[in-house]
């Protein structure tokens, strides 16, 4: 079971959005445990917290820094604490990991050896840092986008109130992974900040932090952070509450208060938007509705656009937006699946970084493990070229989003082949045509595409989404 399903199952079973921080902070250790050795006292306290709350929360969140600060005994305590958590309850390791150089080995340790379900990461090294964690499709990451400490405001609110850095982090990180695999961590007592984040990330899980200020208003936080279904927001159990001998009763009371508000909120909330076709065409393209949706949400635009190669195209395609639209993303995955089900392969490889969310979705849909070739070879550690587990001799199908020149996808395929993997097929969503598939064939690959750019443009013209001038500009660009 992947993290998203595991979390939602526990939310439903325990009727709770609450999570508990399992932090061995000696300064917070209740007096009744202080007669013991410090490590033993902390261990007994953490076990008490787990036993008292397991039936009333949806997740546990150990903060890695507290265990790390205690040295080797602290890391041993972390392993014991993880083992004490019931296996059906998700574990989010609060690591705030930020080091690109150790991302691959740390992802392997926390997800494979420690068997945690999700981890918190900082965003400053970008998708290069996050990608090694996303190669585990049944796990998840939470991107830190906002903190509550006053000293951070000068950075997080730069350059201005209308377009602060923390909102730019939210907007960009949405392109790194699917809603099932990438959530947001938000530390704030300001409901307006939470509301602004929810408005541009309605589909994401938000893990709230630092909400329990003396003048904080829980109802305002809930109203700002809940999605239209009355969930999507994880609420921390107050740290001060964890020292109580009546912890179970206090957590149940807080859960009841939250659920009462959720019931009122769901009753008042409107339903989510659903795209419906607004035209009727005979002999329509089998993917007509999908093409129209891609156009309507801004994935396909017409005008004069300079490409990375320096060439000017009369159109621009940005497929990163699909992962924030579940209706479209599901159709895209299904379209890929129709091609992949007729191919033979052992693993799926996404080309970084644009197609990694798609490869993840296909990995989950087809129950097939995923890997990806790095854009750059690491200059440290194992200097591995491929992220993820594989065995030389296996056959890998390569998945990419757009086929323009074929250069990047073939470079990725060659990296996979250099590791002893076999590559026969390359599957993309959109083919820009102009002989690119022929170039793949010349290099020993069979190219497949869901759509060609001609199919897209002709369909949009037939239904009136683009005009004669735009169609003419496209056709002239093809020569």
402 is in an annotated binding site: yes
Long-range contacts of the stretch 437-444 (C-beta < 8 A, 24+): 437/403, 439/405, 439/406, 439/410, 440/406, 440/409, 440/410, 443/410
Cα distance between residue 15 and residue 3, in whole Å: 17
374 is in an annotated binding site: yes
Q: Are 85 and 116 in contact (CB under 8 A)?
A: no
407 is in an annotated binding site: yes
405 is in an annotated binding site: yes
Note the residue count of the chain: 479
CA distances from 415 to 104, 357, 390, 419 (A): 17, 20, 13, 7
User: How far is C-alpha 470 from the chain's CA centre?
Assistant: 35
Q: Are 156 and 166 in contact (CB under 8 A)?
A: yes
CB-based contacts of 91: which residues, under 8 Å, 6+ apart? 59, 60, 61, 62, 82, 85, 115, 116, 117, 118
Residue 266, SS3 per DSSP: helix
Cα distance between residue 187 and residue 145, in whole Å: 8
DSSP 365-415: HHT--EEEE-SS--SSTT--SEES---TT-EEEEEEEEESSSHHHHHHHHH
β-strand 370-373 against 422-431: which pairing, if any? unpaired
Burial tier of 278 (Cβ tally within 10 Å: 0-12, 13-18, 19+): exposed
403 is in an annotated binding site: yes
Angle ∠(199,162,187) on CA atoms, nearest 5 = 60
343 is in an annotated binding site: no
The reply to whether 6 belongs to the active site is: no
240 is in an annotated binding site: no
404 is in an annotated binding site: yes
401 is in an annotated binding site: yes
Catalytic residue among 47, 96, 195, 417: 96
Q: Which residues are annotated as a binding site for 5-phospho-alpha-D-ribose 1-diphosphate?
A: 374-375, 378, 380, 400-408
Q: Which residues are annotated as a binding site?
A: 374-375, 378, 380, 400-408
Active site residues: 96
């Amino acid at each position: 079971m992947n993290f998203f399903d595991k979390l939602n199952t526990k939310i439903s079973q325990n009727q709770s959005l609450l999570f508990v921080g399992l932090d061995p902070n000696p300064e917070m250790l209740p007096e009744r445990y202080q007669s013991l050795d410090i490590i033993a006292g902390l261990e007994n306290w953490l076990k008490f917290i787990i036993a008292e709350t397991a039936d009333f929360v949806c997740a546990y969140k150990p903060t890695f820094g507290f265990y790390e600060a205690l040295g080797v005994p602290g890391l041993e305590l972390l392993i014991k604490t993880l083992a004490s958590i019931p296996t059906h309850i998700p574990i989010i390791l609060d690591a705030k990991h930020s080091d690109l150089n150790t991302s691959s080995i740390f992802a392997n340790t926390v997800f494979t050896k420690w068997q945690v379900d999700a981890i918190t990461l900082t965003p400053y090294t970008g998708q290069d840092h996050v990608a090694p964690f996303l190669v585990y499709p049944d796990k998840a990451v939470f991107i830190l986008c906002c903190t509550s400490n006053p000293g951070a405001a000068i950075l997080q609110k730069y350059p201005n109130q209308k377009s602060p850095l923390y909102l730019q982090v939210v907007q960009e990180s949405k392109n790194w992974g699917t809603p099932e695999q990438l959530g947001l961590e938000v530390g704030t007592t300001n409901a307006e900040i939470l509301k602004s984040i929810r408005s541009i990330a309605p589909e994401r899980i938000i893990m709230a932090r630092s909400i329990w200020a003396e003048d904080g208003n829980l109802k305002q936080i809930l109203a700002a952070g809940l999605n239209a279904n009355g969930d999507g927001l994880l609420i921390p159990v107050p740290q001060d509450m964890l020292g109580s001998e009546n912890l179970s009763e206090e957590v149940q009371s807080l859960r009841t208060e939250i659920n009462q508000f959720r019931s009122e909120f769901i009753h008042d909330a409107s339903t989510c938007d659903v795209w419906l076709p607004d035209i009727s065409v005979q002999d329509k393209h089998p993917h007509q509705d999908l093409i129209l949706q891609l156009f309507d949400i801004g994935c396909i635009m017409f005008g004069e656009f300079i490409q990375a190669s320096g060439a000017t195209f009369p159109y621009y395609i940005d497929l990163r937006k699909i992962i924030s639209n579940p209706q479209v993303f599901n159709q895209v995955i299904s379209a890929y699946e129709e091609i992949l089900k007729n191919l033979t392969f052992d693993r799926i490889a996404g080309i970084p970084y644009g197609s990694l969310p798609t490869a993840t979705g296909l990995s989950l849909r087809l129950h097939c493990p995923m890997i990806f070739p790095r854009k750059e070879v690491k200059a440290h550690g194992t200097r591995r070229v491929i992220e993820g587990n594989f065995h030389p001799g296996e056959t890998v199908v390569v998945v990419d989003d757009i086929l323009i020149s074929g250069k990047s996808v073939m470079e990725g395929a060659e990296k996979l082949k250099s590791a002893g993997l076999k590559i026969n097929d390359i599957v993309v969503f959109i083919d820009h045509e102009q002989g690119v598939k022929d170039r793949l064939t010349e290099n020993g690959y069979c190219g497949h595409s869901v759509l060609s750019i001609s199919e897209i443009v002709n369909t949009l013209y037939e239904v009136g989404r683009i005009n004669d001038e735009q169609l003419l500009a496209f056709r002239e660009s093809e020569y």
